[in-house]
Amino acid sequence: MFLPSNSSWLNWIEAEFAALRYFALNGTDHQSHPEQDTPVGDYIRWHDKHARPQTGYATNSKIRHADHPFKVA
């Protein structure tokens, strides 16, 4: 899917990894990968347990309207 430049907010995976980084990795200093895997795994299990469908994302954005003129650089 084409995404305009400077539009990381349209990419779902950006939001997911930002949350993972914020909740599981910020402020930590892991000495090994297995030690780092524990909080990452805990966050993923928590997220999966509380997951809900993504709806209403960027509803006020003009890019979501069919008549928005895309600029391809």
C-alpha span between 34 and 45 (Å, rounded): 16
| Residues 6+ positions from 3 with CB-CB distance below 8 Å | 10, 11
pTM for this model (two decimals) = 0.57
| The pair of three-digit structure tokens given for residue 73, joined into one six-digit string | 């650089």
At which residue do the structure tokens 């995404």 appear? 3
Beta carbons of 63 and 9 less than 8 angstroms apart: no
pLDDT in tens, 7-63: 766 677 787 888 888 888 888 888 888 888 999 999 999 999 998 887 766 677 776
Beta carbons of 58 and 10 less than 8 angstroms apart: yes
pLDDT at 73 over 60: no
